[in-house]
Chain A
Amino acid sequence: MEGINSSTDAAEMSFGELRKTLRKFRENGTRNATVTYKLGKYMCDNYSSKLGNEVWDVYEQMFFACIDLGINDIGLSYLRQIKEQFPESKRVYRLIGVLHEADGELAEAEELYKEMLEENPGDAAMTKRLISMYKTNGKTVEAVKLLVSYLETYKCDNEAWLELAELYLSEYEYEKAAYCFEELILISPANYLYHQRYAEVRYTIGGAENYLISKMHFCQAARLSGNSSNRALLGLVTVCETLRGLKGVTTEDKESCFKLVKWAKEKLTDKYEKSKVEVSDACPKKNSPKMTDHIDSGLETVCAILDSVKL
Chain B
Amino acid sequence: MSKLLAFLGLVLMGHAAISVGQFRGIMKERGEADFNIPFDIILECLVGMVIASFGYIIGLNPYEDISSDSSLSAKPIEALLYRPGFYSRVSRRFGYFEDE
Contact = CB atoms under 8 A, between A and B. Distances in A.
A101 interface: yes
B84 interface: yes
Contacts of B89: 67-68, 98, 101-102, 136
Nearest to B76: A28
A193 B44 CA distance: 57
A59 B84 CA distance: 16
Interface in B22-81: 67-69, 72-73, 75-81
A70 interface: yes
15 contacts: A27-B79, A71-B97, A71-B99, A98-B89, A101-B89, A128-B86, A132-B88, A159-B84, A160-B85, A162-B81, A190-B72, A191-B72, A193-B77, A193-B81, A224-B73
B66 to A, nearest CB: 12
- Rank and list the top 6 A-B pairs by shortest CB-CB distance, nearest first: A29-B82, A70-B94, A128-B85, A28-B79, A190-B68, A69-B97
Interface of A: 27-31, 33-34, 37, 64, 67-71, 98, 101-102, 124-125, 128-129, 131-132, 135-136, 159-160, 162-163, 188, 190-193, 224-226, 228
Contacts of A34: 97
Contacts of B68: 188, 190-191
A7 to B, nearest CB: 11
A132 B73 contact: no
A132 B77 contact: no
Secondary structure dominating the interface of A: helix
A37 B57 CA distance: 46
A235 to B, nearest CB: 14
B99 to A, nearest CB: 8
A31 B94 CA distance: 14
A33 B76 CA distance: 18
Residue from A27, A34, A70, A226 whose CB has the most chain B CB atoms within 10 Å: A70
A98 B85 CA distance: 11
Contacts, number: 84
Given A135-B88, A136-B88, A163-B83, 7 more contacts: A29-B79, A34-B97, A69-B94, A191-B68, A193-B77, A224-B73, A228-B73
B86 A98 contact: no
Contact of B86 (A33, A101, A159, A226): A159
Contacts of A101: 89
Contact of B90 (A31, A193, A226, A228): A31
B87 to A, nearest CB: 6
Nearest to A125: B85
B80 to A, nearest CB: 5
Nearest to A67: B89
Nearest to A163: B86
Contact of B93 (A68, A124, A163, A225): A68
A28 B86 contact: no
Contacts of B90: 31, 33, 68
Contacts of A129: 85
A96 B66 CA distance: 38
A70 B93 contact: yes
